[in-house]
Each structure stands twice: as C-alpha cells, then as structure tokens.
Amino acid sequence: MALYISNRQVMTGQTLSPSFVPTLLEAKYGLKHRVFSPPFKFSKLLLDSYEISNRKDREIKYPVVPTGCVTLVFMLGPHAHGEVMGCNTVLRELVVPPKMTAYCVRLRAGAFRFFSHIDVSELTDQTVPMGQWVPNLEKLCQPMRYAESFHERNIILQRFVDKLDGKCFYINEKLQKSIDFIKDREGILKIQSLADEVECTTRYLSRIFLQHVGVATKMYCQIYQLNASLQSILETRPKSLLDTSITYGYVDQTHMNRVYRKFLFCTAYELKNYGLKDMSRIERLMDPDPSMLEFKPPYFLRATTL
C-alpha cells in the first residue's frame, strides 16, 4: 500500500500518523481513496473520500463494511444525483450503474448533524435522496460530474463545505470525548466504564449516540472493534487468527468468527483466505496542509510502507 506525504510536511519535519478509518474492501475496481487527516481544516466534519468508476456495460456491486458514520454518495454520469447512506450495521452493497462513477464521502461519526438535526438513527441501514438536506445539490453534482479527476472532486467538495462554513462545526462534546476514548481502546471496553469516563449515565450516552451517530454505544464499539481487527487481518495476513482474536478483545477465534458472521455474513478465516486479495491499488492521500490541494498537479513525495 502506498502512503503519500506532502513535501511541505517533510520540510517542516512533522510526523503524520494515519487516521483510523473504517475498512475499504477489494481494490479490483481501481478504488481511489483519500483520508482527511486532523490538520485538514474540515477534518472534524469529513473522515475520508473514495471513488469507484464503472466502465463496464453492467452494474457492479461494491461491498461496504459496517461503519460508524454516514456516507454521502454522488453518482456521476449522464444523470448525476446524490444519496445519503446511513450508518450500516451489516455488510451492504453499493450498486454502481454502468458507465457511472460513485464518489463517496464518509463523514465523521456524529457529523451528519452539520446538515440536519434529525435523529440520525432514522437513516441507519437506509439509503435516501440527498436533496432534502444539501441545498442546491444540482450545483454540486454537476461540477463533480465534469471534474477530470478524483483529486479535483475533492477540491470541489472542500470549496462546497467552506461555503457552508464547515470549519465552525463541532461535534457534541461528550460524544467526541466518548469517540476518542473508544478509539484509544479500539472498541474494547465496557459501556459503564465509558459513561464514567465522560461523566454521564449509560442511558444518556446511548441516546446521544443514537441521535448523532445512528447506532447505540455498544453497537458503535462493536463496529469499531470489527474494523480494527479486520484491518489488521487484511494488512498482516496472520497464519493463525487466534492471536488476532485475543488482541482485539474477542474471547477466542470462535467468538470472533461469530461476530464476523453477524456483521459480514462470513468468517474471519474466509475473508483472510478467499477474499480481498489485492489491497495494493488503493491510494491513500494524506495532506497536513489543505492549501496543497490548490496546486495542479499537487506536489507529493511518495513513501512506501509495509
């Protein structure tokens, strides 16, 4: 997998660690991917973006792993349109019609409240039209449709969010503190301990997760734990999954497989050995300075990571 780091970062001697993002699966469709790292001014709102171009004469179905976030999906082709994919609790399929491109933007957990103050749990496991929440959607879809590259679409997105004053958005304080704590523990914790850490009741904590994220606290922790373990399996291809299961908080491999069946409809062993063979073509672009996006072409130094 290739890691791209801007030349400005190298000049200033900064260290940039990758943001943890929900797992993206097979790269056989030429998947392009960009992580919006914390130095990016809209990183409190945007988690990452990815793009799948379907040049075939038939639709393709891309598997979407359960996430703790809402995704904005732009279908770009002769008739461009936008959809909102709520937080999914099981493996779903993103259907990309023939000769169309799916440009997808995953929001930070809780960040959909920037667009609407609805109870986000109403969108869980649903895909609905985007127009009712995004003003002047046509004016956003058309430039994306005619953009020449994934990079250019990211710039269009940045400018759109800037016009909506996205840099002023802040997630609920207790929710953000909870998410940070879950991230530190990789989802392996008791809900009561989490509630004690953020100084609230478990009932209140579950309510704000449902309202702002779309799933209850326990489900969010399970999804985070799943993604952490899945990412490790795909990157390291361990000979034995027992150590992985213990490392990521499962009782044993049987327990981990049971959880994988619940969320992904297959076991961890099946994923490791029979699917997701090629992760090498995914591009992860990480810029500490968003102004670097304005250069055409941008200047990056490429470093290869294992």
Contact at 8 Å (CB) between 79 and 89? no
Task: Look at residue 232 and tell me whether its pLDDT is greater than 80.
Answer: yes
pLDDT in tens, 177-205: 999 999 999 999 999 999 999 999 999 99
Cβ atoms of 137 and 83 closer than 8 Å: no
In this predicted model, what pLDDT tens digit does every residue of 130-181 receive, in sequence order?
Answer: 988 887 788 888 899 999 999 999 999 999 999 888 878 888 899 999 999 9
Distance CA 248, CA 251 (A): 9
Give residue 27's pLDDT. Answer: 63
As a residue count, the chain comes to: 306
Burial label, 203 (beta-carbon count in 10 A; 0-12, 13-18, 19+): exposed
Rounded to an integer, the average pLDDT of 225-243 is: 91
> Which tens digit of pLDDT belongs to each residue from 245-283?
999 999 999 999 999 999 999 899 888 876 544 433 344
Global confidence as pTM? 0.83
pLDDT at 274: 67
Decide if pLDDT at 210 tops 90.
yes
Cis peptide leading into 38, omega within 30 of 0?
no
Separation of alpha carbons 262 and 293, rounded Å: 40
State the chain's mean pLDDT as an integer.
Answer: 82
Domains of the chain plus CATH, in order, are 2-169+280-304 (no CATH), 173-274 (1.10.10.60)
pLDDT of residue 184: 92
Mean pLDDT, residues 69-91 taken together: 94
Q: Is 292 a residue whose pLDDT tops 80?
A: no
| pLDDT recorded at residue 59 | 93
| pLDDT score recorded for residue 7 | 32
State how far the Cα of 135 lies from the Cα of 57, in Å rounded to an integer: 32
How far is Cα 50 from Cα 103, in angstroms, rounded to an integer? Answer: 6
For the CA atoms of 240, 241, 242, 244, the dihedral, rounded to the nearest 10 degrees, stands at 120
Q: Are the beta carbons of 101 and 50 closer than 8 angstroms?
A: no
Q: How do residues 50-76 score in pLDDT, each as one tens digit?
A: 999 998 899 999 999 999 999 999 999
Asked if pLDDT for residue 19 goes beyond 60, the answer is: no
Residue among 121, 86, 106, 304 at smallest CA distance from 210:
121
Sequence-distant contacts of 265-272: CB under 8 A, at least 24 apart: 265/90, 265/91, 268/229, 268/230, 268/233, 268/241, 268/244, 269/241, 271/230, 271/233, 271/234, 272/233, 272/234, 272/237, 272/238, 272/241
Of 266, 213, 259, 248, give the one whose Cα is nearest residue 107. Answer: 213
Q: Dihedrals φ, ψ of 277, to 5°? A: -70, -35
Whether the per-residue pLDDT at 208 is higher than 90: the answer is: yes
Structure tokens at 176: 């953000």
pLDDT given at position 33: 93
Q: Residue 240: its pLDDT value, please?
A: 87
State the average pLDDT over residues 109-114: 92
113, amino acid identity: R
Q: Which two tokens stand for residue 23?
A: 């797992």
Q: In Å, how far from its chain's centre is CA 131?
A: 21
How many CB atoms are closer than 10 A to CB 74? Answer: 24
Between residues 87 and 29, the one the model is more confident about: 87
